[in-house]
Structure 1
Amino acid sequence: MDPLLLIGIAVAAIAILLVTVIALKWPAYVSLLVISVLTALAAGVAIQDIVPLMIEGMGGTLGSVALLVGLGAMLGGIIEKTGGAEVIAHRAAAVLGEKRLAQALLIASGLVAIPIFFDVAFIILVPIIFAFAKAAGHRAPVAVGMPVAVFMVFIHNTVPPHPGVVGSTTLLGQHLMGLVTLLGIALAIPMGLLVHLVGKRLIGNRSFVLEPAVAAKYAAAGEASFHSERVTAAVGGSPDSSGADDSGGGDSPAEEELSRRPPASLVVGLILLPILMIACGTVGALVFEQGGTAANVLSFIGAPAFALLVSTLIAMYLLGIMHGWGKQQISEVMDGALGPAAIVILVTGAGGVFAEVLTETGVGDAVSGLMLEAGVPILLLAFLVALAFKVAQGSGTVATLSAAGIVQSTVVGGDYSSLQVALIILAIGLGSVSMSHINDSGFWIATKFLGMSVPDGLRTWTVMTTVLGFTSMVILGLLWLII
């Protein structure tokens, strides 16, 4: 089929996708499947081949996505329910001191954001954000909360096991999951420093008109309790007193709850364990001869799915037992974590169907080929396509998978090294986080929980996500030139 006609089909498909998601409020899962069928018909796929093509796209994507997102959700779920986010935040504050509460929470949020989905992780941290902001003397929680929110959503879009980056990695280079994970974390470190500096410059201690309910909640927020004996005990410290009540009474329910929380070192260890295992596999592939016993063993240990499985099993035992849960409670928590994850997995699978249709019909080749002929480098192309989808429809997952589908044939068929493909995958993730605005659910989660108006949200959330995305893209571009 004529490339220009295929590009026209792509434009029409994207337009219909936007209408169904934004105007008609269809679920993204249904929209992606319907658009996949229409695109296949318009591109001349035989009617009897459409459903098998959809099944192939769904199955090929879900193989990795279901494993990683499911296990990641379960690990994040048990860390959430046992209070792991809180103990990490308080321990970081205790280590860095009262004058560095914002930095402490930013570091803690970066760790929490690796295994836990953004919306859940941020909501968990909201009470701590309020307490720390009040203790630091800020007139609004925005000064502490907005950099935390932006940093967490950046990690959500660039570091596995989150669905968008897992899906794009599956489409462009499934064997690169470990490398993408390590590069994503490495990129997040300087971005954590940048978001802190941009937050101070952009927000500082300026006044924000908070929504009345949030203003009242913030006014009632107590001083940060990171220095209290009870919290010190909860995060694994050694308070001066024995913790006994002077009146001779027993522990209160709140004290008992705190005493059952796991130490911060254990929670951090469980988050870092799969990362370290993945690192072993990635390094082993570079050091040892491919196909040898050592390389095979390290490859098995460092497989992301196996690393997450091991961490989840250890978390079930250590966090569950330390929290005083029975077997049934642990099972319910783990199963409960799969509910929200199932929706994400299915949407990601539907995105895989759309990507498969774009590839098989030649639509992706036509679009990417035209832009490459126009002189757009593949790294920038991946970023711009994801950015266009993100700005248009808001969902980072849909943007990521759609962009990966458009560039898939070019990337898979091109003579690119593993590191270059990993950078392309990250570029897609950066496009899906940049210029986030009012059609993104993350925008509303951050602004509403912090009590901000829409204009203030655009001046903070949108600006900061764009700064992080574009700055990271510059870093990737420099790395591309070097390699």
Structure 2
Amino acid sequence: MIELINPLMLAAADAAPIKPAMALGTPLLLAIAAAGVALLLVMIIRFKIQAFVALLAVSIMVAVASTIPLKDIFTVVANGVGGTMGKVALLIALGAILGRMIEVSGGVQSLADHFTAKLGASRVAIALTLVGFLVAIPVFFEVGVIVLVPIVYAFAKIAKVHPVKFGLPMAGIMLAIHVAVPPHPGVVAGAGVMGADIGLIAMISLSICVPLGFLSYWVASILNRRDYELLPSVKAQIEEFGNPDTLVASHRGTMAPPRPALIITLIAAPIVLILLGTAGTLVLDKANPWYGVCAFIGNPFFALLFAVGLSFVLLAVRRGWSMKETGEIFESAMPPIASILMIVAGGGIFGQVLQVSGIGTALSETLDQLGLPILLLGFIISLALRAAQGSATVAIVTTTGLLSAAVAGGGYTPAQIAVIVIAIGFGSLGLSHVTDAGFWVVVRYYGLTVADGLKTWTVLTTVLGVAGFALTYVAWILVGGLAHS
């Protein structure tokens, strides 16, 4: 669709910003925005309309209602798609490929076995929480939970306990990383909409997620003091499951799973490059030749591409995968992210419409008058959207779209903008319940009833979300102090 748009038309649009045909007052613009968000939720929740279609339809209706000229509406749509997807599509795709390579090679199981052996059987929950932290960085949340389920089942059988005892703290930190740490789609899309620096986001969000890992283990240990009913279907699977010493990793060929150190290297490589590059650009003067080198190696596109290339050499080539087989693995990473990319595109369209219509400016002015902190507002809006419609990605892209104009006109530093995006990400962490696909993954695979899922998973995600926001607020104070020092 993007290829059919006349580049000259887009250039003209950039040169002469599109404006609504008539000036609408702030109350009316805010009412249009509120009605648009409400309609979006009704379409997704009540009528089960796919999120991208709902976002596109609501964006067009909001554009019409806010009097953007009809002839310009689809130029705004095209700009929204191009502006957002150009920043995030490659990152999401490369991140999915890296995660798929690690998954197929058996690297996840290798990590689980390694840390369990090092920490001992009595600390299985700690070991799996650590494994979950590492695996969650390149692997999507639902995929990570499902891939680690055999490990959870095996140890649950040996210890004769409910699988939630081991799986709950692990899944909690995995979701926290999924909503706040690049290259996961929600936070990357939010960064794209707000123009935030992904390197800064990675640096800050990872430092916040470390204490959240300890918190996830502690809160889960409290929630797991009571006994929960184990669904018969999962109980039967656990009874049939083998010893962890004889687990067969889901890798291709006859080789043993890759060593844990190799998998940790693949996970850490893009993070280290991004952090080094970001630190270099913050310290060096732009005239310094090394500034360009740091900007290049720290670019998330390069960092993830480098990690994918490294995985090709260290996993595919060393394990003797054919080019055809490797290509199939690469391609198999694409279908799961197709719908995510479309949602991200829809969020970009919605954000662009809100900016062009003047709604974003109206919201910014209202916030200034009310004195509401934008950090708190972003968290609350994201949390409410998450609870209402379930998708963390939709919550993040919708919230960043709503607040993008306020952030653009607020005079915030790059570090402050990064912290705002992280706060919105943690807003989408809490209140995971029946509207969330991830809730059903946890309930289904850990053998919980819906009621017990609400008592455990929903409580844990909400505690982690609030704690994540509290730590983000501390980061906000710190970066604010540095900006004024």
Query: After TM superposition, is the score higher than 0.5?
Result: yes
Return the match for 1:151 from 173, 187, 207.
Answer: 173
Match of 1:142 in 2: 164
Q: CA deviation at 1:260?
A: 3.5
Checking the alignment, whether the CA contact within 8 Å between 1:260 and 1:324 is kept in structure 2 is no
Match of 1:247 in 2: none
Return the match for 2:214 from 193, 197, 200.
Answer: 193
- The one-letter amino acid of 1:148's match is M
Match of 1:248 in 2: none
Match of 2:64 in 1: 41
1:352-376 Cα distance to aligned partner (Å, 9 max, x none): 1011111111222323432442221
Match of 1:293 in 2: 289
Return the match for 1:346 from 342, 347, 350.
Answer: 342
Return the match for 1:443 from 439, 446, 452.
Answer: 439
Return the match for 2:194 from 172, 176, 193.
Answer: 172
TM-score calculated relative to the size of structure 1: 0.91
Match of 1:162 in 2: 184
1:101 paired to 2:97:
no
- The one-letter amino acid of 2:477's match is L
Return the match for 1:318 from 314, 317, 320.
Answer: 314
Q: 1:257 to 1:480 in 2, by over 3 A?
A: same
1:452 paired to 2:467:
no
- The one-letter amino acid of 2:447's match is G
Secondary structure at the counterpart of residue 68 of structure 2? coil
Greater CA drift, 316-325 or 7-16: 316-325
Secondary structure at the counterpart of residue 43 of structure 2? helix
Matched residue count: 456
Secondary structure at the counterpart of residue 294 of structure 2? helix
Checking the alignment, whether the CA contact within 8 Å between 1:13 and 1:39 is kept in structure 2 is yes
Match of 2:47 in 1: 24
Checking the alignment, whether the CA contact within 8 Å between 2:383 and 2:430 is kept in structure 1 is yes
Taking the aligned partners of 1:423 and 1:441, their CA distance within structure 2 comes to 27
TM-score calculated relative to the size of structure 2: 0.91
- The one-letter amino acid of 1:62's match is M
Checking the alignment, whether the CA contact within 8 Å between 1:420 and 1:480 is kept in structure 2 is yes
1:87 paired to 2:110:
yes
Return the match for 2:463 from 467, 472, 476.
Answer: 467
Q: CA deviation at 1:84?
A: 1.1
Checking the alignment, whether the CA contact within 8 Å between 1:140 and 1:218 is kept in structure 2 is no
Q: 1:291 to 1:168 in 2, by over 3 A?
A: farther
1:251-301 Cα distance to aligned partner (Å, 9 max, x none): xxx999663421111111011000010111011012211232111101101
Q: 1:256 to 1:444 in 2, by over 3 A?
A: closer
Taking the aligned partners of 2:318 and 2:94, their CA distance within structure 1 comes to 21
Checking the alignment, whether the CA contact within 8 Å between 1:365 and 1:406 is kept in structure 2 is no
Match of 2:244 in 1: 224
Taking the aligned partners of 2:302 and 2:252, their CA distance within structure 1 comes to 35
Secondary structure at the counterpart of residue 416 of structure 1? coil
The percentage of aligned residue pairs carrying the same residue is: 40
- The one-letter amino acid of 1:219's match is E
Greater CA drift, 264-273 or 370-379: 370-379
Checking the alignment, whether the CA contact within 8 Å between 1:368 and 1:381 is kept in structure 2 is no
Checking the alignment, whether the CA contact within 8 Å between 1:371 and 1:381 is kept in structure 2 is no
Secondary structure at the counterpart of residue 353 of structure 2? helix
Q: 1:329 to 1:257 in 2, by over 3 A?
A: closer
- The one-letter amino acid of 2:51's match is A
Taking the aligned partners of 2:95 and 2:473, their CA distance within structure 1 comes to 30
Match of 2:7 in 1: none
Matched ranges for 1:112-123 at <5 A = 112-123=135-146
Return the match for 2:153 from 113, 127, 130.
Answer: 130
1:214 paired to 2:234:
yes
> Structure 2: where are the runs of 5+ without partners?
1-23
Taking the aligned partners of 2:113 and 2:440, their CA distance within structure 1 comes to 26
1:382-440 Cα distance to aligned partner (Å, 9 max, x none): 11111121111111111101100111111112121222111101000011111111101
Match of 1:420 in 2: 416
4+ residue segments displaced more than 6 Å? none
Match of 2:18 in 1: none
